[in-house]
Structure 1
Amino acid sequence: MRREALSEKAEEMAHFVVVAGEPSGDVLGAKLISDLKRINPNHQFSGIAGPLMIAEGCDPWFNISDLSVMGLIEVVKHLPRILGIRKTVIEKVKSLEPDAYIGIDYPEFNLSIERALKKRKIKTIQMVCPSFWAWREARANKFESAIDLMLCLFPFEPRLLEKKNVKAEFIGHPLADEIEIEERNKSVSNNELLNIALLPGSRRKEIEYHLEVMLDAALIIQEKLSSTSKECIFSIPTRFKEMDDWIRSYGKFDKLNISILKDTSECLPNSDLVITKSGTSTLESALYKKKTIVVYKMSPTSFFLLTRLNLINVSYASLPNILLGYDFFKELIQNDFKADNISDEAIQLLEIDSDGYSDPLIKMHRDLQTPNEEGAAFAITRFLGLS
């Protein structure tokens, strides 16, 4: 953000209700609160918060852990509690009449609240646009009735939302600001030890679908590279303490040199090649300028419904390919997700000269950075007439 602008306090103090529903939203919310307080330290914040938002001064009506449920069965089981929280938040906001309600991601929950509040003329701001352009496009037709301002992480989203009569601003992607744009993929041509990152997913079901096939591919890669005197270490970032046990349970990967790490920030910067399931990790790998293979598998029923009912609106599974407009990263989806396919592509990528490989990713990185150093806080205060 512009230092000179941030050093000037806005004359008018505002009260913001900020609602996040998961840890990633807590990170975004904490940064937003910090930036808004730098504009005016007298601003007040309350809502649904995690530890990071609370540390920045948000008064928590509920904790994000109160909304933390995964899977259809668990959602149904906890639905009365979630609906109760939703009702309480709506009542509190109507009573307080804050300057704005800011929903951070968590669209199904936040949009329903925002729709109720907009009817009462309370300003509603949604930070992180739902991926309507990727699937369930009809959702966007309901945004106008719920949202006064959409804050977008991708530069193409405001143009699409304009067609839906939704005011929107591109605020930059936090990963693009966090990761150094100069970061380039290291040449592996002279490395005796290759670091290959395996990212099977952050959910148990994703790991169930991806981990074994990825490790099978790792065995093939290791065998093919053995004749070149190159050794491999396979790094797996995970939050699951059981990862070691899961790998041992397969009973066939003892020969692999596997390193279990806490998160992708420990893993990706030093990787020579990344094999990752589709998701935010593909964008993170692209911003680190890494040679990457994207994979994904789901249940046959889910895949059938998504494809036959035309619920998917994009040609690619990974964000970098969507942003670039072509298949820069190889995608191995569903029936193509096989160990042989992964290993063949991996060997080809490792043999490619790294010089020039990063150029499209560097341009994409620049396009995703916060425009003119003005992020969400500036967009919000400008929209509300506070600065």
Structure 2
Amino acid sequence: MTLVYVVAGEASGDVLGARLIAALRARRPDLDFAGIGGPRMAEQGVPSLFDYRELALMGLLEVLPKIFRLKRLIADAVADVAKRRPAVLVTVDSPGFTLRVARPAKALGIPVVHYVAPQVWAWRPGRVVKLKEEVDRILCLLPFEPIFFELAGVPVTFVGHPVLESGADHGDAARFRAVHGLGAEERPVIVMPGSRRMEAQRLLPIFGGALRLVAQQLPGLRPVLPVAPIVAEAVRAAAADWPAAPILVEGNEAKHDAFAAVAESHGAGLIKSGTSSLEMAVAGIPHVVAYRLNPITAAIAKRLVKVPHASLVNLLAEREVVPERIQGPCNPESLAEALLRPMLDPAVAAAQRVGFGEALAKLRAPEGLPSEAAAIAVLGIVEERGGQ
């Protein structure tokens, strides 16, 4: 059988990898799959070479203590790919890990497709030159990315953003309220501190401080935290002294039900910078984007970042649709003020939703769902190399 090897390094990549595998299998039932991923890929019948949660690190200083273990995991992944000799290697996001597997695979003559363009357009633009040595094609999620990679001579396909098929706008608010016994007077807010342990540990105390301030003006406030299993315990511990007992939800269905309940209640979101902001836009939830790095990592990043906004919604809309609170401004007082505004002023919430529409309109692929467009691009490589 023709083997497709899929490598994902974190929860979001696991979801993308699973959707891609399903779309590929729908077109080519004869395909076989192997790789590195998490529970979503396992549901598609692809067990992981090792527990991908070991890769859930963020920031220069956070990586250093585990550098030798990470090198071992990379070596194990490279050895497995070399042994299996797949028709194509698909690396999904997490470039710090996945592209270190891609380079030696490509050197062996194995075609490599990287799904989710590395954000070298945002920082380290010179890094794009090396991508030609690591991948045969990049699948871009954002509409402004292809021209950047094309100019550098890297083959690229815009496949649309998978958030459009996430179901974030199809939750059941009544079910969420019933399951969690949420009273009519309670006003839920979404809190998303990220899927990496270091992110959650750094942001949760700040988010908790912001919620205490918000609760002084909105007594019925009830925080709702969609959590990945890898950070669930850290979240429970950090939220133990919050002003209202937080509701923790796991899994996409429960998360999307929470989104629906927040939207219906005219709530808002306190969101870590990243794809979560796009989920909020799809669900129609006004929000504030926040992030704080280790000071040394932040100082390095400040010298390298080349874009005017941290939020993908703002980048796509080319203006500040949602407020951003990064580094110093990521503090309880500033976050509380930004979170309260759309909850207290319907005009502010409505203005954000107009901006959401502008941003999301740019994320649609020329045809089909994003996962289907990605599958077509991957199959093009397979068939080009004789994997009929």
Task: Tell me whether the two structures share a fold, i.e. TM-score over 0.5.
Answer: yes
Residue aligning to 1:65: 52
Query: Does residue 302 of structure 1 match 2:297?
Result: yes
Residue aligning to 1:375: 373
Is the CA contact 2:78–2:105 (under 8 Å) kept in the aligned structure 1? no
Residue aligning to 1:32: 20
Residue aligning to 1:145: 133
Is the CA contact 2:168–2:256 (under 8 Å) kept in the aligned structure 1? no
1:80, distance to aligned residue in structure 2 (A): 4.9
Distance 1:243 1:147, change over 3 A: closer
Query: Does residue 109 of structure 1 match 2:104?
Result: no
Match of 1:360 among 355, 360, 363: 355
Is the CA contact 1:289–1:362 (under 8 Å) kept in the aligned structure 2? no
Residue aligning to 1:188: none
Residue aligning to 1:223: 216
Is the CA contact 1:276–1:293 (under 8 Å) kept in the aligned structure 2? yes
Per-residue deviation, residues 268-325 of structure 1 (Å, max 9, x unmatched): 3322111122122222112212111112222322222222xx2111111111111211
Q: Secondary structure at the match of 1:298?
A: coil
Residue aligning to 1:92: 83
1:18, distance to aligned residue in structure 2 (A): 2.2
Match of 1:157 among 124, 140, 145: 145
Residue aligning to 1:20: 8
Q: Secondary structure at the match of 1:257?
A: coil
In structure 1, distance between residues paired with 2:187 and 2:117: 38
Q: Which amino acid aligns with 1:352?
A: P
Q: Secondary structure at the match of 1:197?
A: strand
In structure 2, distance between residues paired with 1:368 and 1:166: 21
Residue aligning to 1:260: 247
Is the CA contact 1:126–1:149 (under 8 Å) kept in the aligned structure 2? yes
In structure 1, distance between residues paired with 2:54 and 2:339: 39
Is the CA contact 1:261–1:267 (under 8 Å) kept in the aligned structure 2? no
In structure 2, distance between residues paired with 1:260 and 1:182: 20
1:343, distance to aligned residue in structure 2 (A): 2.5
Distance 1:311 1:265, change over 3 A: same
Distance 1:261 1:165, change over 3 A: same
Q: Which amino acid aligns with 2:93?
A: D
In structure 1, distance between residues paired with 2:107 and 2:199: 39
For 1:325-336, what aligned pairs fall within 5 Å after superposition? 325-336=318-329
Distance 1:200 1:16, change over 3 A: closer
In structure 1, distance between residues paired with 2:105 and 2:195: 33
Per-residue deviation, residues 90-119 of structure 1 (Å, max 9, x unmatched): 5315xx3x3222222232333233333333
Residue aligning to 2:41: 53
Query: Does residue 176 of structure 1 match 2:164?
Result: yes
Residue aligning to 1:246: 238
Residue aligning to 2:31: 43
Q: Which amino acid aligns with 1:323?
A: L
Q: Which amino acid aligns with 2:378?
A: I
1:327, distance to aligned residue in structure 2 (A): 1.0
Higher helix share: 2
Stretches of structure 2 that go unaligned for 5 or more consecutive residues are 174-183
In structure 2, distance between residues paired with 1:180 and 1:200: 17
Query: Does residue 280 of structure 1 match 2:275?
Result: yes
For 1:312-331, what aligned pairs fall within 5 Å after superposition? 312-331=305-324
Match of 2:339 among 321, 324, 346: 346
Residue aligning to 2:260: 269
1:69, distance to aligned residue in structure 2 (A): 5.4
Q: TM-score, normalised by structure 2?
A: 0.81
Is the CA contact 2:161–2:363 (under 8 Å) kept in the aligned structure 1? yes
Residue aligning to 1:233: 222
Query: Does residue 126 of structure 1 match 2:114?
Result: yes
Distance 1:290 1:380, change over 3 A: same
Is the CA contact 2:205–2:238 (under 8 Å) kept in the aligned structure 1? no
Match of 2:285 among 283, 290, 302: 290
The Cα RMSD (Å) is 2.9
Q: Which amino acid aligns with 1:301?
A: I
Percent identical pairs in the alignment equals 27
Q: Secondary structure at the match of 2:191?
A: strand
Distance 1:244 1:166, change over 3 A: closer
Q: Secondary structure at the match of 1:133?
A: coil
1:267, distance to aligned residue in structure 2 (A): 3.2
In structure 2, distance between residues paired with 1:347 and 1:69: 32
Identify which range, 151-160 or 370-379, moves more after superposition: 370-379
Q: Secondary structure at the match of 1:131?
A: coil
Choose 1 or 2 for highest CA Rg.
1
Q: Which amino acid aligns with 1:273?
A: A
Distance 1:297 1:112, change over 3 A: closer
Identify which range, 202-211 or 296-305, moves more after superposition: 202-211
Distance 1:349 1:140, change over 3 A: same
1:266, distance to aligned residue in structure 2 (A): 4.6
Q: Which amino acid aligns with 2:67?
A: V
Distance 1:245 1:384, change over 3 A: closer
Residue aligning to 1:3: none
Is the CA contact 1:22–1:67 (under 8 Å) kept in the aligned structure 2? no
Stretches of structure 1 that go unaligned for 5 or more consecutive residues are 1-12, 186-190
Residue aligning to 2:180: none
Is the CA contact 2:201–2:234 (under 8 Å) kept in the aligned structure 1? no
